[in-house]
Structure formats: C-alpha cells, structure tokens
Amino acid sequence: MEAWLIDWLNLLGRWLHFVTGIAWIGSSFYFIWLDNHLQPPTNADDEARGVGGEVWSVHGGGFYRAEKFRVAPPALPATLHWFKWEAYTTWLSGMFLLVLVYWYGADVYLIDKSVADLSPMVAIGISAALIVGGWIVYDLLCRSPLGASEKVLAPVLFVLIGLLAWGLAQLFGGRAAYIHFGVVLGTIMVANVFFVIIPGQKQMVAAAERGEAPDPAPGLQAKQRSVHNTYFTLPVLFAMISNHFAMTYGNRYSWIILVAVALAGALIRVYFVARHKGKASPVPAVLALLILAAASLLTVPVSGVIVTAPAGNATLDDVRGVIITRCVSCHAAEPSHPGFPAAPGGVMLDTDAQIIAEAHRIHQQTVVTRVMPIGNLTGITEEERLMIDAWYRGWIVDD
C-alpha cells in the first residue's frame, strides 16, 4: 500500500510539475521574444504617453498590439496581471518530487555507496545545503562588482556551475547528481523571481501609484535576472529528462557531459535570443552542435568492467543466479522490494525467456553504464558484472 501511494504521489507531482513548468517557461520565452521584437511607436501620441516600444502580432484569429512603457504609464489600469505563480508552483512541485523520491527514498535514489558512503541524513543535509547555498553564492556574485559586467560574470558563473557538476558527481549517484544540478539552477531561477524580479516590479508599481517616477534600478536588476533565467532554462530541462538516459548520468565522464550539455543549451538560447533581435550570428548554434557532438562521443559504448575476464563464455545458467539474486527483487511480476509496487520500466526478469529478451538492456545497464542495480542496493560484484558481460558477448555470437 505504501509503495502504491508513493507511486501515485509521484505521478501527480510530476504531472503538476510538467504543466506548471510549461506555463512558466512558456511565459518566460514569450516575454523575452516580446522584448526583442519591440519597435519604436509609430504614433507620436503613444510616444508622448511614455511608450518605449510596441509590437503587433496575430494569433487565434485576432490581432494583438502590445506596448511597453519606458518606465510606467501615466495611470495604472484597474487590472494588472502578474506572472509569478507559474514559477512558484513549478518550484514547489519540483521540491515535492525531490523530497518524495530522493529524500524519502535516499537509500535507493540519492545514495550510491560506490560513489560516497553517506548516511541518509548526511546525504539529505548536503542536498539541502547545496540548494540553498547555490542561490546565496549566485545572488552575492550578482550583487557584487562582478555583476556589473556580464562579460566578467558569465565565465565566473560557468566555472562555478562546472564545479557544481563535478562536486555532485563525487557525492551522489548519477541520477541524483543530474537532478540536483537541475534543482540548484531551478532554485536560482525561482529565487530570482521571488527575491528580485517581483520585488522590483512591486517597487515600480508602488511608485506609479504615488504618482512618482519609478527608480529604474530595480527594473534593470530584474531584467538581468530574467535574462539569466532564460539561459538556465534549457540546462534545467535537460536535467529534468536525464534520468531516462543512463548513457549520460551513468558514464564515467558524467559530470563533463552534464557541463557540456548545459553549455550547449545556454548557447542555443543565446542564438535564439539574438535571432529574435534580427542579428543572429550562427556561431553560438554551431558551437552548441559541436559541443553536443563531442559529448555524444563520450557515450559511445565500451565495457566498463576493469577486472580480468574469466576464460570462456558464461552460460545462461551462470547468469540466471546473478539475475535472481541482484535484479529480481525489483524486476519481477511481483517485486519483493517494498519501494517498487511494479517492475521499473515494465522490465521483468522472472523467466529465462524474459532474461534473453532483455539481454541488450541487462548488459547496457549492468556492464556498460553500471547504473543497475540502482545505487547497487543488492551489492552486485565486479565478477558478476564480468559474468554478465561474458554471457552477453557469447550470446551475441551464438545468436
């Protein structure tokens, strides 16, 4: 019953996270697009009203005209729409999933004893500290003299992000390391909204309501953080989907691949933002493709087993015992592990026919990427991984 309840909470949490994430990222991308497509107002009266730019668009069978004031309109409208709850709900639902999957299930999903022998409480404490500390370090940098120059701030942030990816890979299992990378960046993004962007907008609104000229400084700070958010978006989205691709987080160069994909994602956004402005150089896009190509080469399958292989090929009889001992507690029609009400991914290994049918996946997950058993919960040995490797290679030849 407990595992069934956890599965439903996981499903509903992911659904909410996905929907609100679309709403947040969609509105963020739209406003970046809108800012970059503004044109000087064609009507002199509009310019006199303080309009700094306008854009016409057509959608859903209607025409729209959006105006952006240089500072604030002469009088605020009765209804003023804010964009914040999309961000807050995305973060809250994401943290709900982190707590449910990686904190509550720390022994399974967060800790990998072969990476770092951490207790659940220590691992959870490190997780929380990194999430909070990531925002504090970033915010202090932005408020420091370095924050006045994006050309200086950007490489400093990139180095720190690289150190974050490397450090996570030394602490947690591959899946957890990638997810935490996304959580730290996602927390920075939503904290930008909560602590900088929305307060800056509230100051502008308050000044306008008092009939005063708003201080442009909060708006400029909010603009900087909003731009940072758009460059963080694609790396965060990659981290969200990465748990489906063991070839990345299960790779011995996992942190390098993570940094490479994050950089490529940021460069892709650089290209599209510039393209919206009508002066896009293809260089960022080309660099992104080259970086992704280089990262993909690191995932070319090679055997991860280091110890010397036994002479001859192992047989299915040899491997069956390893599968039953190390895998079937989860991958069975009725898993005995309390954390899994059903076989993960629908992969069941109860019978010889099922083992043979899943031979490629068994080899990939236990020998090539070595991400299974997850967190090495069942204590598979190097000799047993070798046995699977020898059987698979012999099976391929015989097949």
Residues 6+ apart with CB under 8 A from 311: none
CA gap 27, 29 in Å, rounded: 5
Predicted confidence at residue 306, as pLDDT, reads 43
Of the pLDDT bands very low, low, confident and very high (cuts 50, 70, 90), residue 160 is: very high
CA gap 386, 396 in Å, rounded: 15
For 329-383, the pLDDT digits (tens) are 889 888 888 777 788 878 889 888 888 888 888 988 888 888 888 888 888 998 9
**Are 216 and 321 part of one and the same domain?**
no
**Are 230 and 363 part of one and the same domain?**
no
**Are 226 and 365 part of one and the same domain?**
no
CA gap 259, 255 in Å, rounded: 6
The separation between CA 347 and the C-alpha centre of its own chain, rounded to angstroms, equals: 25
CA gap 188, 94 in Å, rounded: 13
Out of 209, 224, 247, a domain closes at 247
Of the pLDDT bands very low, low, confident and very high (cuts 50, 70, 90), residue 255 is: very high
**Are 10 and 154 part of one and the same domain?**
yes
Mean pLDDT along residues 41-54? 90
Predicted confidence at residue 396, as pLDDT, reads 59
Of the pLDDT bands very low, low, confident and very high (cuts 50, 70, 90), residue 305 is: very low
Of the pLDDT bands very low, low, confident and very high (cuts 50, 70, 90), residue 311 is: very low
For 256-304, the pLDDT digits (tens) are 999 999 999 999 999 999 988 887 899 999 999 999 999 999 988 664 4
**Are 119 and 232 part of one and the same domain?**
yes
- Other beta carbons less than 10 A from residue 83's beta carbon: 16
CA gap 165, 178 in Å, rounded: 8
- Model's pTM, two decimal places? 0.86
CA gap 182, 381 in Å, rounded: 31
Predicted confidence at residue 172, as pLDDT, reads 96
User: Dihedrals φ, ψ of 41, to 5°?
Assistant: -60, 140
**Are 243 and 367 part of one and the same domain?**
no
Concatenated DSSP letters of 334-382 = S--STT-SS-GGG---SSHHHHHHTHHHHHIIIIIS---SGGGTT---H
**Are 97 and 203 part of one and the same domain?**
yes
Concatenated DSSP letters of 72-120 = --SS--S------HHHHHHHHHHHHHIIIIIITTIIIII--TTT----H
User: Is there a domain that residue 72 lies in?
Assistant: no
